[in-house]
Amino acid sequence: MKQKFRSRVATSFVIGVLAVCAAIPVFGQEEGGPRRPVPTGKTPRTADNKPDLSGVWGPEHVFIYDISVSLDKGETLPLQPWAEKLTKERMSKDDPEANCMPTGVPRQAPYPWRIMQTPEVIAFLFEGNIHSYRQIYMNRKEHPKVLNPSWYGDSIGHWEDDTLVIDSVGFNDKFWFDFAGHPHTEQLHVVERYTRPDLGHLVYTATIDDPGAYTKPFTMHGKSPLLQSEELMEYICNENNKDVPHILGKDTRK
94: Cα separation from own chain's centroid: 18
Sheet architecture: strand order including 201-209? 55-57, 113-117, 121-126, 133-137, 154-160, 163-169, 189-198, 201-209, 218-225
pLDDT digits (tens, 9 = 90+) for 141-188: 999 999 999 999 999 999 999 999 999 999 999 999 999 999 999 999
Q: Is residue 231 domain-resident?
A: yes
pLDDT score of 234 more than 90: no
Domain of 134 in residue numbering reads as 45-236
Q: Is residue 22 domain-resident?
A: no
Q: Is residue 27 domain-resident?
A: no
Question: Cα(85)–Cα(82) distance, rounded to whole angstroms?
Answer: 5
Number of domains in the chain: 1
Q: Is residue 4 domain-resident?
A: no
Q: Is residue 25 domain-resident?
A: no
pLDDT score of 17 more than 70: no
Global pTM value: 0.84
Q: What percent of the chain has pLDDT over 70?
A: 80
Is the distance from CB of 106 to CB of 80 less than 8 angstroms?
no
Instruction: Tell me what pLDDT residue 21 has.
Output: 36
Q: Is residue 140 domain-resident?
A: yes
Q: Is residue 249 domain-resident?
A: no
Instruction: Tell me what pLDDT residue 242 has.
Output: 58
Q: Is residue 35 domain-resident?
A: no
